[in-house]
Amino acid sequence: MSEENKPQDVPAAADAVDAQAATAGDSLDAALEALRNDLETARQDVLYAKAETQNVRRRLEKDIADARAYAATAFARDILSVADNLTRALEAIPAELREDDKLKNLVAGLEATGREIEKVFGSHGITRIAATGLPLDPNQHQAMIEVPSADAEPGTVLQELQAGYMIKDRLLRPAMVAVAKQPD
């Protein structure tokens, strides 16, 4: 090689090195950008996983609280028939037999049992649904019959055929009622 060609080759070689460095720099920048994107995606995934975990924890806590609050629901439904039969038995005793000395203690015991059942219901959040004289509420009352009445507004509960109950804020059993309707 001649002296004239040598200075020209050095800039060409330098340009080639610069081109390779630029290509390597571009690939490093691209790799760095890809890693940044992967990191951001991983951060988002972690945030979503944390949020989902928190939601699952809240749902489980609510389910546990509901299970505690309403655990006695099936048993309460079953015991309502016992309370109904006790109430019917007390209502069936005529006034003259209530005063009889032989039956007075029996009646007092039945009445005490009725009060105890109501006390236990109250301690477990079981309350009786008010019905008579109120407008029919399909969320709490089940209309069994319609009775023509000039005295009451149509849709008003005239008589409670079977008591209804709530357990906390849930319906345990609707009140079965007779409802007023327009007279013919």
Task: Tell me the residue range of the domain where 163 lies.
Answer: 127-184
Same domain, yes or no: 149 and 135: yes
Q: What is the pLDDT of residues 64-73, one digit of tens each?
A: 988 887 788 8
Query: Domain of 143: which CATH number?
Result: 2.30.22.10
More confident residue, 13 or 48: 48
Same domain, yes or no: 89 and 135: no
Q: What is the pLDDT of residues 24-47, one digit of tens each?
A: 668 888 899 999 999 999 999 999
Query: Residue 131: what are its φ and ψ, rounded to 5°?
Result: -140, -60
* Mean pLDDT, the chain, whole residue set: 85
Number of H helices, E strands in the chain: 4, 6
Same domain, yes or no: 136 and 108: no
pLDDT at residue 141 is higher than 90:
yes
Same domain, yes or no: 65 and 28: yes
Cα diameter, the chain: 143
Give the pTM: 0.62
Same domain, yes or no: 14 and 60: yes
pLDDT at residue 6 is higher than 60:
no
Number of domains in the chain: 3
**What pLDDT does 70 receive?**
79
Which of 124, 141, 163 represents a domain boundary (last residue)?
124
Decide if 164 contacts 140 (C-beta within 8 A): yes
pLDDT at residue 1 is higher than 80:
no
Same domain, yes or no: 56 and 37: yes
Residues 155-165: what's their mean pLDDT? 90
